[in-house]
Amino acid sequence: MKINILDTNTLTRNDLDFSCIDALGETTYYNILEKEELIRNCREADVLLINKAQMSEDVLRELPALKYIGLFATGYNNVDLAACDRRGISVANVPGYSTDSVAQHTFAFILMHASNLPLYNDSVHRGEWIFSDSFSFFPYPISELAGKTLGIIGFGNIGKKVAQIGNAFGMHILVMNRSPINDGRYLQTDLETLLKESDYVTLHCPLNPESANLINEKTLALMKPEAFLINTSRGGVVDSEALAYALEKRRIAGAGIDVLPVEPMPADDPLYKARNCIITPHIGWASIEARRRCVRLVADNLKAWMEGKPVNIVNLVNP
């Protein structure tokens, strides 16, 4: 079994052990490859293990030996599933591996905003506290999370974990989800109500035709002026230009963004210099614990498929 691992440099900084995958076949590692390089190096591969490499139909038709694609990710919008179906290629993802990490990152954004930590840190390092005449220097607003309303869009593993954390802080929880959540602890509502009533809105939905640009000029206009938006899902769920405009015009108070429609971030991205927009470089999933878990689950998926007992297959192909 010839196994090619792509995008290796998106997974590890020499801090992960891949021996559980090495044990399953003849393994070759590559960093991010351009399209032609990918095709040239992967023609004989039976298995591709990828993170964000684009598996489009024109790439897949050049890989005649390919039987299985395993993702180091939960999302799989970079893989043409219909083309895989036609070619008998099984595609497996790893749901749930980053739940704790992404939920933690979501609350890092929320807490930074509630306590204005970036502004206070900058202020102290400018020397403003040194020259203050008071022991307690608080020129920037600080607010408690208890009693605030947290709106969660998407109630999968991560959305549920975020709700649990919000509940522990004493927040009121609103949920918008495509299907019934069957959880009496939280109120399920429609998008308009959630946006109008929430102090914090956090996105945990997949990117699909229904969610693309879900947060746009019209939906942003529904939010409170004091509301804070968090996106740790997919960049395409938010219209970046509309969000930058809403921030500039103070239509909402701020945003915490971990994902963008184009990554790495282009220099002309409208959010690059947007007012009160905290941006992190797609790291919500990237704790060492989550990355170790991811590698182990990818290996488990592949082993199960090789044994004729596939798990976490996201397309219609049978083994």
Please give the positions annotated as active site.
234, 263, 282
* CA separation for the pair 231, 215 (Å, rounded): 10
Tell the burial category of 99 from Cβ atoms under 10 Å away from its Cβ (0-12, 13-18, 19+): buried
* CA separation for the pair 32, 125 (Å, rounded): 38
Tell me if 55 sits within 8 A of 79, measured CB to CB.
yes
Residue with tokens 């746009």: 216
* CA separation for the pair 143, 199 (Å, rounded): 11
φ/ψ of 70, rounded to 5, equals -110, 130
* CA separation for the pair 107, 30 (Å, rounded): 34
